[in-house]
Amino acid sequence: MPAQPDTLQARFWTVAALVLVGAGAGAMLVLARDAPRVEPRTITPRGSLPAAEQALVEMFQNAAPSVAYITTEVLQPTGFFTATVAKGAGSGFVWDGDGHVVTNNHVVEGARSVYVQLDAGEPVEARIVGTSPDYDLAVVRLVRARRTLRPIPLGSSRELRIGQSVYAIGNPYGLQRTLTHGIVSALGRELPTTEFREVAGVIQTDAAINPGNSGGPLLDSAGRLVGVNTAIQSESGSSAGIGFAIPADLVNRVVPSLISRGKAPLPGIGINPVRPDLVERAGINGVVIAEVRPGTPAAQAGLQALNAKSGKLGDVIVAVNGKRVDTLSTFVAELDRAGIGNTVDLTVLRDDKQRHVKVQVMDLEQ
């Protein structure tokens, strides 16, 4: 019976182990029972918020319900007969009580469907009523407008001063109603939009603007709209403290036209210019006129175009209201700054002789 001692020994060690475990468990129970009770700390009363903080809280509470989270669906071709649906997102804000919402053109460009979410409600379908690639602005309208829409109060970008506090509300990276704070870093910047056009008078701010903020409002400390957040300058694509907003005065001029006509007024004088790359290649600074349209302010002012047969230059526009224009984009920006219906003083070169010509700015879209 040689296995019997081993069996008894195994049983002994098993019983001993159980006793030790039981003893340990008992010890743990004693320790747990004897441990002191730790109460949560008493909260120190905060007291009232400083007036400046309270004003900021109230400003956000008033403005946030008017900020929209915009999502889109865009068909992207993947082959000759196939396509995939790409989703996009951006921001916007309520313009009026009729359900019009303002955003950037690049947020809704090419979209087959647009949805707008306000407050904590469900996304509501919207239709595009007007777009302007030249100003990177667009207006959509809610298909089922809510009974109570709260438009953001409108301010004037002309009143802004460098160093003034501004606030951006939007949906960066899909994080809805994010508030960021900064200052007006610079005024009068120019922002390229389409191939030959720039938006003049753009606001530069260091309020954090990230992908998804596009189309959201830039507010002053009174909660008034002073700009539409549009772009950032960053190598990484994230906020680097340099953001740009389309000025409210321009927005207030463009948006009503988008609502009523579906397109924005386009300032011009009635000329077709020579392509900028050809002008640059020829070493010419200014706007070379390729064609003068009959019956336009340019024709009435006697401006002459390039002679296509002989190649002889006509008039080259080198300044608008005394400000030098070396490129087509700067020329258009100066016309936009002057405004449709107003008269500008053009500095023109013809046969190396400089002269001044008065021309009225017209709406090319009419």
Exposure string over 329-354, b if 16+ CB within 10 A, otherwise e: bbbbbbbbbbebeeebebbbbeeeee
pTM (2 d.p.) = 0.79
- Domain residues for the domain of 280 are 267-363
Q: Is the per-residue pLDDT at 8 higher than 50?
A: no
Asked whether residue 249 falls in the same domain as residue 167, the answer is yes
Within a domain: 59:
no
Pair 340, 297 in one domain: yes
| Options 185, 214, 239, 257, the catalytic residue | 214
Distance CA 21, CA 31 (A): 15
- 260 to each of 138, 150, 256, 265, 303, how far by Cα in Å? 12, 21, 6, 11, 33
Catalytic residue, candidates 66, 100, 134, 136: 136
Better pLDDT: 205 or 239: 205
If asked whether residues 248 and 162 sit together in one domain, one would say yes
Number of domains in the chain: 3
Is residue 57 assigned to a domain? no
Residue 8 is assigned to a structural domain of this protein: no
Is 56 among the domain residues? no
> Do 132 and 162 belong to one domain?
no
Say whether both 310 and 358 belong to one domain.
Answer: yes
Instruction: Indicate whether 183 belongs to any domain.
Output: yes
Here the CATH number for the domain that contains residue 318 is 2.30.42.10
Q: Taking the CA atoms of the chain, what radius of gyration do you get in angstroms?
A: 33
pLDDT confidence of residue 237: 61
Q: Does residue 20 surpass a pLDDT of 50?
A: no
Most confident of 106-115, 142-151, 190-199, 306-315: 106-115
Mean pLDDT lowest among 59-73, 113-127, 256-270? 113-127
| 320 and 246 in a common domain | no
The reply to whether 235 and 171 lie within a common domain is yes
The answer to the question of residue 350 being in a domain is: yes
Phi/psi-derived region of residue 341, left when phi > 0, alpha when psi is between -120 and 50, beta in every other case: left
Is there a catalytic annotation at residue 106?
A: yes
Q: Is residue 297 domain-resident?
A: yes
Helix (H) or strand (E) holding 353: strand 353-360
Q: Is 356 a catalytic residue?
A: no
Active site residue 134: no
Flag whether pLDDT at 13 surpasses 50: no
Same domain, yes or no: 136 and 200: no
Nearest to 134 by CA among 276, 257, 281: 257
Measured CA distances, 329 to 5, 135, 193, 236, 268 (Å) = 102, 13, 10, 27, 12
Give the H or E element holding residue 168. strand 165-170
Last residue of a domain, one of 230, 253, 276: 253
Specify the range with the lowest mean pLDDT, choosing from 199-213, 231-245, 249-263, 264-278. Answer: 231-245
Q: What does pLDDT average to over the chain?
A: 85
Q: What is the pLDDT of residue 234?
A: 58
The reply to whether 130 and 204 lie within a common domain is no
Q: What is the CATH number of the domain that holds 133?
A: 2.40.10.10
How many Å apart are CA 221 and CA 231, to the nearest integer?
21
Name which of 17-21, 133-137, 242-246, 314-318 the model is least confident about.
Answer: 17-21
Last residue of a domain, one of 142, 172, 199: 142
The answer to whether 279 and 347 have CB atoms below 8 angstroms apart is no
Q: Please indicate, yes or no, whether residues 163 and 247 belong to a single structural domain of this protein.
A: yes
Q: How confident is the model at residue 178 (pLDDT cuts 50, 70, 90)?
A: very high
End-to-end CA distance of the chain: 115
Q: Is residue 132 part of a domain?
A: yes
pLDDT (average), residues 105-116:
92
User: Active-site residue among 106, 249, 329, 336?
Assistant: 106
| Residue 295 and residue 326 in one domain | yes
Report d(CA 344, CA 358) in Å as an integer. 6
Amino acid 56: pLDDT: 92
Clarify whether residues 288 and 239 are in a common domain: no
| Residues in contact with 141: Cβ distance below 8 Å, sequence separation at least 6, in sequence order | 98, 99, 100, 101, 126, 127, 129
Check residue 280 and give its pLDDT: 84
Q: For residue range 31-57, list pLDDT tens digits in order.
A: 556 788 899 999 999 888 999 899 999
